[in-house]
Amino acid sequence: MSQSFNALAEKRRTIYALGPTLPLAEDEVIALIRTAIRNAPSAFNSQSSRALILLGEEHKKFWALTGDQLKKRVAADAFVNTEKKLAGFAAAAGSVLFFEDQQVVSGLQQQFPSYADNFPIWSEHSTGIAQYAVWLALAEKGIGANLQHYNPLVDEDVQQTWNIPASWKLRAQMNFGSIEAPAGEKTYIPDSERFIVAR
């Protein structure tokens, strides 16, 4: 039975303890991710969101490349903790790398010059919505996920390794897999600090 949207939104959490097991076949997970991104809204129906879906060894390769870049920048004594964190990401079943196609953005800027300054902002809205849509779709199937941002540190490696078009700008990386330990308790700031209702 499908869950209500609000129940699903509450179920979606940042899960760091992920494992390699999936409750669905890999092809079903791929279809789930594609459907979520395909149906995510975007300004002017630009459909600027792009994704690289990595599974198994390709997923681990991404986190190894990330580790190589961080090793160049993090002090050796501090890298021990960084390495543990990356190993946790690599232990997941896969990852989705989210991009925004800058060719689409610049095309819209040229087509609608009055809104030119807004299209990069709206592109960021699009990727955020796409990321949330995927996260909810995974949560509905009992698949845990966490969202990371190692861009632009890994951009060049990703582009070269997976032959990513130059116009695709990396925005985020989402790991997904089996939930090996639940998320901690979530706290909320008072509604009075977040919402104004006028009627």
Cβ(105)–Cβ(42) below 8 Å: no
Would you place residue 142 in the very low, low, confident or very high pLDDT band (cuts 50, 70, 90)?
A: very high
Taking alpha carbons only, the member of 94, 123, 102 closest to residue 32 is 94
CA 134 to chain CA centroid, nearest Å: 8
The predicted structure's pLDDT at residue 130: 98
User: For residues 50 and 134, what is the distance between their CA atoms, to the nearest angstrom?
Assistant: 12
1-5, 19-23, 51-55, 86-90: lowest mean pLDDT where?
A: 1-5
Angle at 108 between CA 46 and CA 127, to 5 degrees: 40
Task: For 79-105, give one letter per residue: b (16+ CB within 10 A) or e.
Answer: eeebeeebebbbbbbbbbbbbbbbebb
Cβ(98)–Cβ(49) below 8 Å: yes
Average pLDDT rounded to a whole number, residues 4-15: 95
The mean pLDDT of the chain is 97
The predicted structure's pLDDT at residue 25: 98
% of the chain at pLDDT higher than 90: 98
- Give the CA diameter of the chain: 58
Res. 36: pLDDT tops 80: yes
Q: Is the dihedral of CA 17, 23, 28, 33 positive or negative?
A: negative
Res. 38: pLDDT tops 70: yes
| Total-model pTM | 0.96
The predicted structure's pLDDT at residue 3: 74
pLDDT tens by residue, 53-105: 999 999 999 999 999 999 999 999 999 999 999 999 999 999 999 999 999 99
Q: Which domains does the chain have, with CATH numbers?
A: 34-181 (3.40.109.10)
Average pLDDT rounded to a whole number, residues 7-15: 96
The predicted structure's pLDDT at residue 1: 52
Res. 26: pLDDT tops 60: yes
Res. 195: pLDDT tops 80: yes
The predicted structure's pLDDT at residue 2: 65
Neighbours of 188 (CB within 10 A): 7
User: For residues 151 and 171, what is the distance between their CA atoms, to the nearest angstrom?
Assistant: 6
Cα–Cα distances in Å, from 23 out to 13, 26, 161?
Answer: 18, 9, 29
